[in-house]
């Protein structure tokens, strides 16, 4: 097993990760390769948020699936807490997996409607033989759910509350890394801020590393320490959040930032 020579605070490290898909058109067709992820390198430290932005089809989701091991990377290295995930024996990889967890975009489809809130949060603990009622109560308390509320089912709660259940679930196994895949984009504006603040509090409390994927650039700016901009499978720009937003270097980043409508009617572009 290979352990990277990472700094002790480093949670996730990607080195030149490629994920190519090959398809063939018809029995005699030429194989065609799509380089969905084309040489991505990045790292995230404990207590740090890396924002990942890019338009649909740029390879963000494929990158996430590759980190999670849902795709097997074509080449490159992925280290989690120093463990080389792609070259680890399977049983050990299984043990490393709970250290990263995902919070999904849509809290309406991510929770089983037939389970109670308590059972939803207990599920990851039960699977790993670590269930205790007190632990579930503690997790739910962190996201603002009482024991009374935990007896009910997801349908009785709003989108923001359901997303908090998703967050409690993801924290159950004490992960080091949370992958947040558009965690607030399905929520209403007045609710988004509640979840964003909760994510910020939890990060401070547990020194969590976040990989934060979002298309809403103001949310990314608010939650991230560093930002990586992805375009056509590659990271075209990466840097501290203020540098990227205030002094974008790559032409694509500039286009992206210029396209965001500013919430101030005094700043309208002149009509052409």
Nearer to other proteins, 148 or 264 (CB): 264
Residue 209 as a binder of other proteins (CB under 8 A): the answer is no
Of the residues 223, 228, 229, 235, which one makes contact with other proteins according to CB under 8 A: 223
Nearer to other proteins, 127 or 260 (CB): 260
Of the residues 70, 134, 189, 270, which one makes contact with other proteins according to CB under 8 A: 189
Residue 39 as a binder of other proteins (CB under 8 A): the answer is no
- Give the shortest CB-97-to-other proteins separation in angstroms: 28
Answer for the pair 60, 220: CB distance below 8 angstroms, yes or no. Answer: no
Among the residue ranges 35-43, 65-73, 118-126, 262-270, the one whose residues contact other proteins (CB under 8 A): 262-270
- Give the shortest CB-271-to-other proteins separation in angstroms: 8
Tell me how far apart the alpha carbons of residues 213 and 154 are, in angstroms, rounded to a whole number: 24
Written in H, E and C, the secondary structure of 95-127 is: HHHHHEEEECCCCCCCCCCCCCHHHHHHHHHHH
Going by C-alpha positions, the residue among 4, 188, 170 that lies closest to residue 80 is 4
Residue 49 as a binder of other proteins (CB under 8 A): the answer is yes
Answer for the pair 156, 111: CB distance below 8 angstroms, yes or no. Answer: no
Among the residue ranges 68-76, 94-102, 116-124, 158-166, the one whose residues contact other proteins (CB under 8 A): 158-166
Of the residues 35, 215, 234, 250, which one makes contact with other proteins according to CB under 8 A: 215
Distance of CA 57 to the CA centre of its chain: 16
Residue 232 as a binder of other proteins (CB under 8 A): the answer is no
Of the residues 86, 217, 232, 236, which one makes contact with other proteins according to CB under 8 A: 217
Binders of other proteins in range 98-117 (CB under 8 A): none
Beta-carbon-side half-sphere exposure of residue 147 (alpha carbons within 13 Å): 6
- Give the shortest CB-127-to-other proteins separation in angstroms: 27
Q: CB under 8 Å to 64, separation ≥6 — which residues?
A: 102, 179, 181, 211, 213
Would you give the DSSP letter of residue 150?
G
Binders of other proteins in range 162-181 (CB under 8 A): 164
Residue 202 as a binder of other proteins (CB under 8 A): the answer is no
Would you give the DSSP letter of residue 3?
B
Tell me how far apart the alpha carbons of residues 209 and 94 are, in angstroms, rounded to a whole number: 20
Nearer to other proteins, 17 or 195 (CB): 195
Burial class from Cβ neighbours inside 10 Å (0-12, 13-18, 19+) for residue 69 reads middle
Residue 259 as a binder of other proteins (CB under 8 A): the answer is yes
Residue with tokens 């409690």: 168
Binding interface with other proteins (CB under 8 A) = 49, 55-56, 141-144, 158-161, 164, 188-194, 196-198, 200-201, 215, 217-219, 221-225, 241-242, 245, 255-256, 258-269, 271
């Amino acid at each position: 097993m290979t352990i990277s020579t990472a700094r002790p605070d480093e949670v996730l490290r990607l080195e030149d990760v490629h994920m190519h898909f090959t398809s063939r058109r018809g029995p005699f067709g030429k194989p065609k390769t799509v380089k969905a992820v084309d040489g991505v390198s990045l790292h995230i430290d404990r207590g740090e948020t890396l924002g990942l932005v890019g338009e649909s089809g740029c390879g963000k989701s494929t990158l996430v699936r590759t980190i999670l091991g849902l795709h097997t990377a074509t080449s490159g290295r992925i280290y989690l807490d120093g463990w080389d995930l792609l070259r680890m024996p399977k049983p050990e990889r299984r043990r490393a997996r709970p250290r990263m967890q995902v919070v999904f975009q849509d809290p309406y489809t991510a929770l089983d409607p037939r389970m109670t809130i308590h059972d939803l949060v207990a599920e990851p603990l039960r699977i790993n033989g670590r269930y205790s009622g007190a632990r579930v109560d503690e997790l739910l308390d962190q996201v603002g759910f009482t024991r009374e509320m935990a007896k009910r089912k997801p349908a009785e709660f709003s989108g923001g509350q359901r997303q908090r259940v998703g967050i409690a679930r993801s924290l159950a196994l004490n992960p080091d890394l949370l992958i947040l895949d558009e965690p607030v984009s399905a929520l209403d504006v007045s609710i988004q801020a509640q979840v964003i603040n909760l994510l910020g509090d939890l990060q401070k409390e547990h020194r969590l590393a976040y990989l934060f994927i979002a298309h809403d650039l103001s949310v990314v700016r608010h939650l991230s320490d560093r930002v990586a901009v992805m375009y056509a499978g590659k990271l075209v720009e990466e840097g501290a959040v203020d540098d990227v937003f205030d002094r974008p270097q790559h032409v694509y980043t500039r286009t992206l930032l210029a396209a965001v409508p500013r919430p101030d009617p005094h700043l309208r572009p002149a009509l052409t």
